[in-house]
Structure 1
């Protein structure tokens, strides 16, 4: 595995080459959802950096399956009040910029209206979904916060930077464990859920991808914040503090991170690709944009080297990414225990792991230029 390989391009090409005759990928054309949105974003960003319009065209082709001429979005329903449904909307900004077509702007306004009326905790935190009352999950901060910050910038809505800061800082305050510096997957203000601690309302463990979502949210939201915003420095401060905590649980031998972050070599735990990619992405981007101190670059590079050596293979079909946790959540039958997190399937090539790998690769490539 050569250090000079542009893994972002090679992996994006693998996904594009899986398309049907109509140019659409069978995992990206079914519904408006957060994983397809992240994959399209990863491929579009790769094309933007390497000035290859085919990557943008791929993203646009899939977005146009959903965004209608009047700005409505096929398969999306505002009243579902689901933060996951905001994520694919991040692609709308590049579409607006490059095409000037009005339906993309109208679709962005539609998603912003969801957030304006989204159900909240008593302190203003967005519920993860309407069906998860009074719960904030780290996942949701990635889904909505960067969109909201970019929307604030694009449409000159400075009050929405305040909103974004509120969300990022509130969830950190509620979920952070002072002993480890890590953050729990979810927080239930009502303390009604079976997984919620009876005092704090937090779930019981530090799931890698959950904190990965939050780490990416910080990097991506900050990119749009005005330098003089009164909460910008605080967000950068908690970002760096979080990265210090992540470095303390980074596997010394491989540079990777475990499925359950702080339980290292406990039986059943394993080094996991999606969370590791998200942490590499966040640290590399944070260093590149000056939010994080330069010494985090070595940690990101060590993690990336581990990803390539341990998780990535190549054959005639292209690039494959292995050791991906297929999914995890919190509900009646998903109790947030250690046993639960290690029991979920471990798979190869799931887009929820491949897209973060593309994003991490692109940031490492930018940092290395």
Structure 2
């Protein structure tokens, strides 16, 4: 049986010597690097092979300076995307005991302490997006805050983590479908926001993928004595809603509930994220094993729809939405036409990283590699 997890890892190592120096990044502290490296971290945990730890360390050492400052990072931007790569620093600090990693962790934690919030306590997505909560931001910030709280004994922060999910879910869930809108504007003044609810107009696949990954990664970190019922309920309800809009190909559309609308397309990153979240929830015992076949069908659908092996034996993941957001200088309006008009690319790291993470759960590596 073909092990796509191993092929995806081997491809990554052969294609990219040092991720930050790739032309797509130009040294930026870019959150999607973290999505890929979390897959490499899982490979390290499965095999204990030093090459995986070294790959993470070399990448992070490009950014993390000896005094704990981070190249390409701006504290004042109050950008929750900047937190994601910090998830890798817990592993590096544990393995190396180098103080620069602890200093960088403290810096990112301090950002979360100073992040502007909505009245009920949800983090803004960025300082330039005032009063706005995006589903993406839960993935960027919540698992990091949970791991910091557990690692450095700050139990009060765990209640904050849970309320971040609770408030976001309450504000973005559609009572009819059970799906979550991409974002919510507390002030209800953004051009993309519904003036009555504050929600954006559509169910964007990857945004719910981010949310589902965030939930399951956070649940995996929480201590046994921290109640998880609220998170489990959110996960189950959202998964049931997603099951209703899965395409006949067993994957998901860019705009989840508009599969029959011209221009919509089956999208790799959302499908991979949802697949990963399901597989991890089953592994954790968060959801019933009756979902096992659903997850396996989804993974097979991803392989059939999105995975191509090149002549060199490298893995390509096609049909990833490159980026999607709301507002900003480009005045992104959150319309259906907007979501289907963003560039569709191959091997986008948000999709590739999610596929790698899903593959490692569904096709674990042997100790022999």
| TM-score bracket, shorter-length normalisation | over 0.9
The answer as to whether partners of 1:29 and 1:65 remain within 8 angstroms in 2 is no
User: Which residue is equivalent to 2:230?
Assistant: 234
The Cα of 1:44 is off from its aligned counterpart by: 2.4
TM-score by length of 1: 0.95
User: Can you list the C-alpha shifts for 1:290-344, whole angstroms capped at 9, x where unaligned?
Assistant: 0111111111111100011111011134100001111110005211111111111
User: Which residue is equivalent to 2:310?
Assistant: 315
User: Which residue is equivalent to 1:61?
Assistant: 58
User: Which residue is equivalent to 1:50?
Assistant: 47
1:243 matches 2:234: no
The Cα of 1:25 is off from its aligned counterpart by: 5.4
The answer as to whether partners of 2:209 and 2:274 remain within 8 angstroms in 1 is yes
Write the mapping of 1:1-369 to structure 2, written as runs, cut at 5 A.
Answer: 4-20=1-17, 26=22, 27=24, 30-230=27-227, 232-251=228-247, 253-317=248-312, 318-331=314-327, 333-366=331-364
RMSD of aligned alpha carbons: 1.8
Equivalent pairs counted in the alignment come to 363
Query: In 1, distance between residues paired with 2:177 and 2:16?
Result: 44
The Cα of 1:9 is off from its aligned counterpart by: 2.1
The answer as to whether partners of 2:20 and 2:28 remain within 8 angstroms in 1 is no
The answer as to whether partners of 1:284 and 1:367 remain within 8 angstroms in 2 is no
> In structure 2, do the counterparts of structure 1 residues 29 and 108 end up closer, same or farther at CA, with 3 Å as the change threshold?
farther
User: Can you list the C-alpha shifts for 1:113-133, whole angstroms capped at 9, x where unaligned?
Assistant: 000010000100000000000
The Cα of 1:47 is off from its aligned counterpart by: 2.6
The answer as to whether partners of 1:326 and 1:345 remain within 8 angstroms in 2 is yes
- SS of 2:58's partner is helix
The answer as to whether partners of 1:23 and 1:58 remain within 8 angstroms in 2 is no
The answer as to whether partners of 1:288 and 1:367 remain within 8 angstroms in 2 is no
The Cα of 1:368 is off from its aligned counterpart by: 12
Query: In 2, distance between residues paired with 1:103 and 1:263?
Result: 47
Gaps of at least 5 residues in structure 1 are none
Query: In 2, distance between residues paired with 1:313 and 1:50?
Result: 26
- SS of 2:63's partner is coil
> In structure 2, do the counterparts of structure 1 residues 341 and 24 end up closer, same or farther at CA, with 3 Å as the change threshold?
closer
Query: In 2, distance between residues paired with 1:70 and 1:58?
Result: 21
Gaps of at least 5 residues in structure 2 are none
> In structure 2, do the counterparts of structure 1 residues 39 and 367 end up closer, same or farther at CA, with 3 Å as the change threshold?
closer
User: Can you list the C-alpha shifts for 1:146-184, whole angstroms capped at 9, x where unaligned?
Assistant: 001111110011011111001011100000001000000
The Cα of 1:28 is off from its aligned counterpart by: 5.9
The Cα of 1:235 is off from its aligned counterpart by: 0.9
TM-score by length of 2: 0.95
The answer as to whether partners of 1:260 and 1:341 remain within 8 angstroms in 2 is yes
- SS of 2:10's partner is helix
The answer as to whether partners of 2:5 and 2:365 remain within 8 angstroms in 1 is no
The answer as to whether partners of 2:20 and 2:27 remain within 8 angstroms in 1 is no
The Cα of 1:367 is off from its aligned counterpart by: 11
The higher relative CO (CA closer than 8 Å, separation ≥ 6) is in 2
